[in-house]
Amino acid sequence: MSDSDSFIEEVTEEVRRDQLYKYVRKYGWIAVLLVVGAVGVTGYLEWQKASLASDAQARGDQFAAALDAPEPSARADALAALTPEAGPAAVIVDLRRAAELAEAGDIDGAVAAYDAVASSDAGPIYTELARLKSVILQGTAMDAAARQAVLDDLAAPGAIYRPLALEQQAISALAADDKDAAIALYTELVQDSEATDALRNRASQVLVALGAEIPATSQLLSE
C-alpha cells in the first residue's frame, strides 16, 4: 500500500469517526429516550400487574366480608352493595345474591336476579345456570308451557346443564301425573354418563319408588 493510499484511508476513517460523533450528538438523545421509555414501560406494566392483583384481592375481601353477614337477607344486601367491574366476577356476585335472596324467602327477588343474569351476555355457563335456577325456584307457579319450553332448551343434547334439566322435566312429569314420561326421563338420567353420581342415585331412588326397573350396572357401564 502506498503512502498516499494509507493517507487516504486514515482520512476516510477520521471522516467516518467525525460523522459518527455528529450522529451521536444529534440523535443520541433518541436512543436515550428509547431506553428510558423501555424501562418506563416495563415499570408501568409491573405496577399495573401489582395494581390489578391488589384490586382483585380487595374485591375478594369485600365478597368474603359480605358472606360473613349472619342472615341471608343481610348477605344479599351486602352483595348488592358491591360494584365489581363487568365480567365473571360481577356475574358470580349476582348469582350468589340471587341464592341468598331465595334462602331469605324472597322468591320474586331471587327470580328477578336470576332472570337478569339469564338475559345478560355473560356467556352460556352463567346464563343457562341462571335460567335453570329461575325455573327451579318458580316451580309449578310458572306457566307450564313456558317452563317446558325452557327445560326443553336446557335439556337439548350438548347443553351444559342437560342432566339437571332432565331431572326437572321428570319432576314436571310427576307433577302432571304422567308416570310413564317420568319413568322414561329418570331412566335416561340413570344411564346418562354426564350425570353426577348423586343425580343418578336420586333418579334410581325415584324409579324404585315408582316401581320401575333400574338399568343393570353392566348396562350403565356400557353406555
C-alpha distance from residue 153 to each of 38, 147, 213 (Å) = 53, 10, 28
Q: Which residues of the chain have pLDDT under 50?
A: 2-8, 10-12, 15, 24, 28-39, 41-45, 47-48, 51-52, 217-223
Cβ neighbors of 125 (< 8 A, separation 6 or more) are 160
pLDDT of residue 88: 81
Query: What grid cell was written down for 30?
Result: 433518541
pLDDT digits (tens, 9 = 90+) for 172-192: 999 899 999 999 999 999 999
pLDDT digits (tens, 9 = 90+) for 89-121: 888 888 899 999 999 999 999 999 999 999 998
Q: What is the dihedral of CA 51, 56, 59, 63, to 10 degrees?
A: -160
Helices 107-118 and 88-103: crossing angle in degrees, nearest 10, is 160
Are 82 and 93 a contacting pair, CB within 8 Å?
yes
Give residue 159's region: left, alpha or beta (phi > 0; psi -120 to 50): beta
